[in-house]
Amino acid sequence: MDVIELAGLTKDYGEVVANDDVTFSVERGEIFGYLGPNGAGKTTTIRALLGLISPTDGTARVLGHDITDESDLLEGKRDIGYLPDSPSFDEGATGRDVLELHARIKGDERSEELLELFDPPLDREVREYSHGNVRKLGLVLTFMHDPELVILDEPTSGLDPLMQQRFAEFLRAERKRGVTAFFSSHVLGEVRRLCDRVAIIREGQLVTVKPVESLLDRSGKVVRLRTAEPVPFDRFDPSSLAGVHDLETSLDREERAGDDSNTAFTECTFTFTGDVNALVDRLDGIGLLDLSIEEAPLEDIFMRFYGTEDDVGAGRPSDNISGSEAGDKQVGDTAQPSGGGDDA
Ligand SMILES: Nc1ncnc2c1ncn2[C@@H]1O[C@H](COP(=O)(O)OP(=O)(O)OP(=O)(O)O)[C@@H](O)[C@H]1O
């Protein structure tokens, strides 16, 4: 039995279908990322899985419990930890009050260890908490009853990099203990570091479910560089370096086309999906003043790999991806990188 099973889960809010016939499952012991841009439908799925909203159609099982059967799901909840996207605690209570309340309701197997790790300021009132401190307290509450499944809505939002790292190490150790984690994110780097598999949702529809490595192959990096001396344009042109997309240089295209002597630049930005060694070779010896290589924003990846050529032109994702197979087909069949280069 899979730990989470969604079967045609649909939530129609009238103006928007937030989840449209969503079907996938999460296996025991995996860290499963649920990825999508803002408003894609991630929180809707999570809230449905916890029985906080009723699906319009379809169903799901969590630890074998039917989410549409309140008493059945309630039984399962003692084995589930849930971190909401914005936990709402009693503002006048201290962190310690909140912790003690949760301990009375759900039990406390390991808060000491968790407090040491995440360190929320327990003696302060929750109204004084920063977003990050709310998150830290939320993480303690999510894991303190030692659940076998955790469902986390954007778990690292608001956490500083050190705490994000700490959370990642903790979650990996939990996986070793057999805990299953299902978490939503729109941060690709986080998913890359942590997940075994990911599902991607966009505009309420499941685009694809796949092992994280196959997503990473496509993710790409945004490269920005500044040089002391002008660099010939073709150094990073997609025709000479496979995997360059959306090259923008300190000279515009017309200038380059009109005057060959101007085909050099000292600043440029591009998205790179090619062989990183080939990129390093190209960077060699060009007198860099500044270089940054960052994760491509998820929205760009959606556009590049899960949209159509029309969408890229129009600057919006496709309307015609209707399921996981459709999403996969788009990659090979119609969604060409907008820079015209190879995405190998
Ligand atoms: N109670 C509601 N009534 C009407 N529409 C809603 C309601 N809750 C969510 N929606 C809409 O459903 C869609 C999906 O929202 P959801 O919060 O599930 O997205 P999300 O992927 O979690 O987004 P984010 O990453 O921004 O948190 C959005 O268009 C949102 O406006």
User: Which of 130-144, 175-189, 330-344 is predicted with the least confidence, judged by mean pLDDT?
Assistant: 330-344
Any atom of ligand 1 within 6 Å of the Cβ of 42? yes
At 254, the pLDDT band (50, 70, 90 cuts) reads very low
The CA-to-CA distance between both ends of the chain, in Å, stands at: 37
Any atom of ligand 1 within 6 Å of the Cβ of 341? no
Any atom of ligand 1 within 6 Å of the Cβ of 202? no
Count the Cβ atoms, other than its own, within 10 Å of residue 279.
Answer: 19
Average pLDDT over residues 172-181: 96
Tokens matching residue 246: 């959306």
The confidence score (pLDDT) of residue 233 equals 81
Q: Which of 97, 178, 95 is nearest to 132 (CA)?
A: 95
Q: Atom 31 of ligand 1 has which residue's CA nearest to it?
A: 39
Model-wide pTM > 0.90? no
Does residue 324 carry a pLDDT above 60?
no
CA distance 230 to 83: 51
The confidence score (pLDDT) of residue 66 equals 95
- Phi, psi for 199 (deg, rounded to 5): -115, 140
Q: Which ipTM score applies to this complex?
A: 0.98
- pLDDT (tens digit, 9 = 90+) per residue, 293-303? 987 776 666 66
Ligand 1 centroid, distance to 201 Cα (angstroms): 12
Are the CB atoms for 184 and 158 separated by under 8 Å? Answer: no
Q: Atom 10 of ligand 1 has which residue's CA nearest to it?
A: 18
211 bridge partner residues: 197
User: Which of 47-61, 161-175, 231-245, 254-268 is predicted with the least confidence, judged by mean pLDDT?
Assistant: 254-268
Any atom of ligand 1 within 6 Å of the Cβ of 11? no
Average pLDDT over residues 155-174: 92
Average pLDDT over residues 168-195: 90
The confidence score (pLDDT) of residue 241 equals 93
Q: Which of 184, 215, 189 is nearest to 26 (CA)?
A: 184
Distances (CA, A) of 113 to 105, 117, 136, 145, 284: 19, 6, 13, 12, 47
CA distance 81 to 181: 9
Any atom of ligand 1 within 6 Å of the Cβ of 54? no
At 28, the pLDDT band (50, 70, 90 cuts) reads very high
- pLDDT (tens digit, 9 = 90+) per residue, 35-62? 888 899 999 999 999 999 999 999 999 9
Q: Which domains does the chain have, with CATH numbers?
A: 4-216 (3.40.50.300), 221-320 (3.30.70)
Q: Work out the percent of the chain whose per-residue pLDDT is above 90.
A: 58
